[in-house]
Amino acid sequence: MRASHELARVSVRFDEMNLVSCAGLLPAAVLAERGGAGAGLFDQVRASSTIGCWLRAFRWSNVRELDAVSRELRARLGAAGAGPADPTGPLTVDLDSIIVQVYGRGKQGAEFGYTKVRGYHPQLATLAETGQVVFSRMRGGSAGAARKAKSFLTETVSRLRHAGATGELTVRADSAFCSRAMITTAGRLGARFSITARQDKRIRAAIEAIPEGSWRPIPGTPPTTGATSTPTSPS
């Protein structure tokens, strides 16, 4: 017996109070169908070794082409509903890097970084409202956390705007991304930013010089002092 492969003929009916609307693979199948020419691209099942050989044949130009495809796919998925509930509202994107450990000594780009672990050190941009990774960049294991963060932030904001995010954007990052280049780039792109600053002598002196009356509570935090407050204007 051959099942129907046309999603238009599939319907879902609920007769149990404990069931939810996320029914099996149907939502994912509809999303894949609306996202693009999936059937033409993924027409066969390929072994992981075959995929590995294919990826290793990529040149830098192929990587950029793949970036362009993923950029357009992100926009189409957003238009199909697989994105923030209100793309025109305020959105927050978190920038960070992670360590991906590998064990083979012959893997290209796998090196020891500050964690003393052999692996890769990719950067990720995650949308706080949905948990989706909106952009990622592969890097060698010895790359610093904020290496090329300026271009990474620029591409991230560009992708979000291309996908229909027209509202206010806030960029969040830890102290590894604290630099004049990052802050200047965020301002140039019209994005707000919340970036942790390293507590060196100059930073501590600047904080201590802020008058007590210039501090105000951060919304949503208990009414305490110090770490949960922010000055009303930068110094």
d(CA 71, CA 23): 28
pTM of the model as a whole? 0.71
pLDDT digits (tens, 9 = 90+) for 120-161: 999 999 999 999 999 999 999 999 888 889 999 999 999 999
pLDDT digits (tens, 9 = 90+) for 183-203: 999 999 999 999 988 888 988
Q: How many residues does the chain have?
A: 235
d(CA 159, CA 181): 20
Q: Is 63 left (phi over 0), alpha (psi -120 to 50) or beta?
A: alpha
d(CA 170, CA 93): 6
Contact 206, 232 (CB under 8 A): no
Quick one: tokens of 164?
Answer: 């229909």
